[in-house]
Amino acid sequence: MFNHKGGVGKTTTAVNLGACLAGTPGKRVLLIDLDPQANATRAVLKKDPTEGQPTVRNLFASGKTESSLTKLAVATSVRGMDIVPSDLRLSEAEFQIASRRGREHVLREALQTITAQYDYIIIDCPPSLGLLSLNGLVAAEYVVIPCETQYLSIRGIRQVIEIIQCVRETFNPQIQILGVFPTKYFILSKANIEALQYLRANAKVRVFDAVLPRDVRAEEAPSHGVPVVAYAPDSRAARAFGLLTSEVLRLCGD
């Protein structure tokens, strides 16, 4: 999940797509929280991680990436989904690796030791263009771009696509944009309706058919430590994530 704009629904999409994929029989999902805000971590754990508990920060701080992701992953409130949690001190680690050789490949290398254990790995990027997001993009096969159905958010998508193209040319030739996921759509807002029409007409990349409506259930769920698809399975938001998951599976050929 990548969009350097903040508050567009990256984390909400990461935890709910993850939960839907984990609901497929026999599939195992790993969520990686690459954001020092640790919102994904809080959204899928009933109790906050204890002080000093290892987090994804250890991966970046240690300098030895081999095999450590397995030790960092913990079970979430969703059956079949684990998370590599984050904490605020991840932002210190981002500075620590700034001068290290291979700093863009830390996550990609670490993932090699764990991919066989999971069917899907979802990376929740922070709202920035720093080394953490870059590590996420260098490690990813596909990018989902959550985007608010607001004019300025939609105009920002061009920059997001340019950044991904730049990563493709420099570090990760395999990376593909899976699509833009329109979020926080309010059917009674003329501005939202026009923005979605503009997006569908002008996007240079695929826009998912699924649209995440504004839904108070989606706002409530994180404080219960469960994704909205488990908290309110009949909600409009949960239904949108069901549709998104079907599209993602179809596009990934699964």
Ligand X SMILES: Nc1ncnc2c1ncn2[C@@H]1O[C@H](COP(=O)(O)OP(=O)(O)OP(=O)(O)O)[C@@H](O)[C@H]1O
CB of 102 to ligand X, least distance (A): 26
Residue nearest to Mg ion (CB): 11
Which residues partner with 121 through β-bridges? 30
Which amino acid, one-letter code, is at 55? T
CB of 221 to ligand X, least distance (A): 7
Could you tell me if 86 and 57 are in contact, meaning their C-beta atoms sit under 8 angstroms apart?
Answer: yes
10 binds Mg ion (CB under 5 A): yes
> 7 touches which of ligand X, Mg ion, none (CB within 5 to 8 A by kind)?
ligand X
C-beta of 11 vs 133, nearer to Mg ion: 11
- By CB under 6 A, how many residues form the interface with ligand X? 20
> Count of CB atoms within 10 A of residue 23's CB?
17
Could you tell me if 122 and 14 are in contact, meaning their C-beta atoms sit under 8 angstroms apart?
Answer: yes
> 237 touches which of ligand X, Mg ion, none (CB within 5 to 8 A by kind)?
ligand X
> Count of CB atoms within 10 A of residue 127's CB?
16
> 8 touches which of ligand X, Mg ion, none (CB within 5 to 8 A by kind)?
ligand X
**Residues 78 to 137 in contact with ligand X, rule: CB under 6 A:** 127
**Residues 13 to 42 in contact with ligand X, rule: CB under 6 A:** 35, 37, 39
Taking CB under 5 A as the binding criterion, the range among 34-42, 114-122, 162-170, 223-231 that sits at the site for Mg ion is 34-42
C-beta of 68 vs 78, nearer to Mg ion: 78
The DSSP code for 224 is G
User: Which among 182, 169, 192 is positioned nearest to 247, based on CA atoms?
Assistant: 182
11, 13, 16, 68: which one contacts Mg ion (CB under 5 A)?
A: 11
CB of 40 to Mg ion, least distance (A): 7
Tokens (6 digits) for 153: 């958010």
C-beta of 8 vs 111, nearer to ligand X: 8
Site track 212-231 with ligand X (rule: CB under 6 A), x = hit: x-xx--xx--x---------
User: Which among 111, 132, 191, 203 is positioned nearest to 161, based on CA atoms?
Assistant: 203
> 214 touches which of ligand X, Mg ion, none (CB within 5 to 8 A by kind)?
ligand X
156, 178, 184, 254: which one contacts ligand X (CB under 6 A)?
A: 184
According to DSSP H, which parts of the chain are helical? 10-22, 39-44, 56-62, 68-72, 90-96, 106-112, 131-139, 151-170, 190-202, 216-220, 228-231, 236-251
> Count of CB atoms within 10 A of residue 148's CB?
22
Could you tell me if 70 and 101 are in contact, meaning their C-beta atoms sit under 8 angstroms apart?
Answer: no
Q: Which residues bind ligand X (CB under 6 A)?
A: 6-12, 35, 37, 39, 127, 183-184, 212, 214-215, 218-219, 222, 237
Question: Would you tell me which residues interact with Mg ion (CB under 5 A)?
Answer: 10-11, 39
